[in-house]
Amino acid sequence: MDFVKSIAVAASGLRAQAGRMRVLSENIAYADSTAQAPGQDPYRRRIPTFVSQLDRALDARTVALGPVRNDQSQFTSKYQHGHPAADAQGYVKYPNVNGLVEMTDMREAQRSYEANVNVIGATRRMLARTLDILRG
């Protein structure tokens, strides 16, 4: 077993999931925002993606945060006559962010992050045990 490869692959997973959590946090932060002016679009939900990469130095496949794409689904509109961002009919556009979806994705990212931390910990323990055996 190659300990360095195991740790490098798990570390790439940590970085990718941390990036995913940053994007999801941004979505949550802007969930209740509106456009700056009537007729403008509000914040558009962003969707993180992942890409597989070959680390030639380790001869191992790793993962990285890929391009972050904009969700093209429709914005929600609420009737709020008098709101600074209301259109001529009195409707205000809100971001296409669903808090429940974002929190579910965040929890999944957190669990994936924790799984990668556990892989690194287990690999370190195996490496330490191997060194103990070689010394003894």
Phi, psi of 60 (to 5 degrees): -145, 150
Amino acid (one-letter) located at 60: A
pLDDT at 86: 93
Q: What residues does each domain of the chain span?
A: 3-135
pLDDT digits (tens, 9 = 90+) for 2-56: 899 999 999 999 999 999 999 999 999 999 999 888 889 999 999 999 999 999 9
pTM above 0.85, yes or no: yes
Per-residue model confidence as pLDDT tens digits over 68-114: 999 999 999 999 999 999 999 999 999 999 999 999 999 999 999 99
Give buried/exposed letters for 16-47 (b at 16+ CB in 10 A, else e): bbebbbebbebbeebbeebbeeeeeebbbbbb
What tokens appear for 13 in the block?
Answer: 């997973």
Q: Residue 1: its pLDDT value, please? A: 57
Kindly compute the dihedral angle of the four CA atoms of residues 95, 101, 107, 108, in this order, to the nearest 10 degrees: -110
Per-residue DSSP letter, 90:
S
